[in-house]
Amino acid sequence: MRLPGRTQRRLVLSFLLVAALPLVASVLLARVAVGYTAGIFYNQNVGAALERSLGVYSELARSMKDAMRARADAIADKEPLRAAAILAHGPSVAQELAPLFKQYPDLVSVEVLTSGGERIGYRDRGRPLDDARERSLRVDRPLAEREDPPQLVAVFAAPRARLDEIDRASELVTDYKAIEAKRALVDRVVLTVFAVVALVTVVLAFLLGSLAARRVTGRLDELARATQRVAAGDLSVRVAERGDDELTELARAFNRMLGEVEGSRARIDFLQRMGAWQEMARRLAHEIKNPLTPIVLAVEECHRRCPDDAPQFRRLLDTTVEIVKEEVGTLGRLVTEFSSFARLPRAALSPGDLAAHLREVRARRSLVEEGAEGSEAEVDALLSGVSVTWDIVPPVAEVAFDPHMLGRVLANLLGNAAQAVRSRRRDGGRVQVSLREAPGGYTLDVDDDGPGIPVADRARVFDPYVTTKDDGTGLGLAIVKKIVVEHGGVVEATESPLGGARVRVRLPALGSPASAAALSLDAAPA
């Protein structure tokens, strides 16, 4: 077991001194005060006065209860009520019970029961008993002079304050007598209690001081160990942010620094991987493109040299030429997309108003920039018949961004959303673009009411060559993520309130650490 450090020992000693010195003085003063107070309080005059007051209160309580019993007797003596109860005629009983509440204001409820306990009639004052202000007294009276007569059950309300006062007075007199009988022990008991309290306080002060000292030194040790792990290259370590003191602020700043460093490293790693993917796409496009033209020429030459006297063979060649040209066209479009991905430039960031830029885009409805995935006509065709709404809330959104590359992000996201809507229905559908202010920056959401993205695919749809579409290449969302990462932001796919998919782009506000890191990365040589 490790011995306490110097800082921990000093803290514990400080706790002990602060707790022990006032307690010693309190014990000495208590001894004097108890002796003086006992001589004044414990005398025969006080005891006699308490006895008299208890007698007055008890007499008052008895008189209140006797008055309630008398009122119950008066109710039970009413001949019409007795007759109706003997006949077990409920309406007559209820009629007789109704006027009783005006006659007896303290009556809460009254009911008539058969000898077997079945209710014949019941009335109450219209509000339940208020337990905070009232106490109840139940009085049972027979309504006939025979065996097993019907019963009257009356519940009366008495002021709780008076009855509680009587109970407290009775307890006070009982306690006073008990203490007075043991007066000789009071002084020793009080002093013993003070001594025990002093001892317990000292022990608690020691324990609390040790605990507090260990918490402070423990948090410092935790920071030291975390720093050592960071020095060894582990950026995933975090320290607990407990409390609201200076050490908590230090831990929060430490975690924030690690988060920013880890985020910067993740962005750099992603961009390096994207660079490798782009190089592979460039080479793949080159290797695929070269043999396409010879294949088409060779098939066309075979078709041209086909003899005219072989109609079945010519039909076979016609079909073959058509299939080869269609597949070569598909490969050509794939090569074009690979080449576009390989030539994707780095975003050139500059400070600007993202909200104003989006309003301009909304006004001109020209969202497909040169080189985006799919032609402008194709995207316009996809968006035709689809309701596209814009919800730009912040009046100003200062962000470091590249308008051209951000336009490409919007084009890809809108094109994907339109395709998702078209996959569910031929006409109609909704796509919504929203800009909101968020902690540390802004969120740009593109929602649709299409089929959505399965939960298992949401984390990997942004990787190159991963797609959920039958005819997709898996490059559109990879391009989106690359551009967003170059802006210092993050992108994620979730479920949309419209019922389909939501792609959320988070961009840091201008002047934030993430924005500064993105600008510094943009300024670095490629």
| 470-484 pLDDT, tens digit each | 555 678 888 899 899
Cα-trace Rg, the chain: 45
Looking from the CA of 307 toward its CB, the CA atoms found within 13 Å total 2
DSSP, collapsed to helix, strand or coil, labels residue 174 as helix
**CA-closest candidate to residue 487, choices 204, 288, 307, 263:** 263
- DSSP structural state of residue 346: P
pLDDT at 494 over 90: yes
Q: Which of 303, 344, 352, 349 is nearest to 323 (CA)?
A: 303
pLDDT, tens only, 1-40: 455 656 666 666 776 676 667 766 776 776 666 656 655 5
- Do 64 and 158 meet the contact criterion of CB atoms below 8 Å apart? yes
What average pLDDT score do residues 149-175 get?
76
Q: Is the pLDDT of residue 437 over 90?
A: yes
**468-476: long-range contacts at Cβ-Cβ below 8 A with a sequence spacing of 24 or more?**
469/419, 473/334, 473/337, 473/338, 475/281, 475/337, 475/338, 475/340, 475/341, 475/373, 476/373, 476/412, 476/415, 476/416
Q: Which residues make beta-bridge pairs with 45?
A: none
CA 487, chain centre distance (Å): 29
Q: 30-67: per-residue pLDDT in tens?
A: 666 665 665 555 555 555 665 666 566 667 778 878 88
- Residue percentage of the chain with pLDDT more than 70: 73
233 pLDDT more than 90? no
What's the distance, Cα to Cα, between the start and end of the chain in Å?
55
Are the C-beta atoms of 488 and 513 separated by less than 8 Å?
A: no
CATH architecture for the domain at 46-179: 2-Layer Sandwich (3.30)
For residue 77, the surrounding DSSP H or E stretch is: none
Confidence of residue 354 (pLDDT cuts 50, 70, 90): very high
Residue 442: pLDDT band (50, 70, 90) is very high
If we measure between CA atoms, which residue out of 383, 445, 457 comes closest to residue 420? 383
pLDDT for 370 equals: 40
Q: 318 versus 369: which is more confidently predicted?
A: 318
Residues 6+ apart with CB under 8 A from 62: none
Distance CA 421, CA 425 (A): 6
| Residue 352 bridge partners (DSSP) | 399
pLDDT of residue 45: 57
- Residues 442 and 392: beta-carbon distance below 8 Å: no
List C-alpha distances in Å: 124 to 85, 101, 104, 380, 521.
17, 8, 12, 76, 82
User: Is the pTM of the predicted complex or chain greater than 0.95?
Assistant: no
- CA dist list (Å): 441 to 264, 400, 437, 489: 17, 11, 6, 9
Residues 494, 447: contact at Cβ < 8 Å? no
* pLDDT tens track for 300-344: 777 777 777 677 777 787 788 788 777 777 776 766 766 667 677
Split at pLDDT 50, 70, 90, the class of 373 is very low
CB-CB neighbours of 450 under 10 Å? 24
Q: Which own/partner contact pairs does 27-32 have at CB distance under 8 Å and 24+ positions apart? A: 27/191, 27/194, 27/195, 27/198, 30/190, 30/191, 30/194, 31/187, 31/191, 31/194
Closest CA to 271 of 517, 458, 509: 517
Length of the chain: 526
Q: Which two tokens mark 288?
A: 């695929």
CA distance 360 to 410: 13
347-523 — its CATH code? 3.30.565.10
136 bridge partner residues: 157
- pLDDT tens profile 333-347: 766 766 667 677 888
**Residue partners of 339: CB distance under 8 A and separation at least 6:** 281, 282, 285
- pLDDT for res 312: 76
461, amino acid identity: V
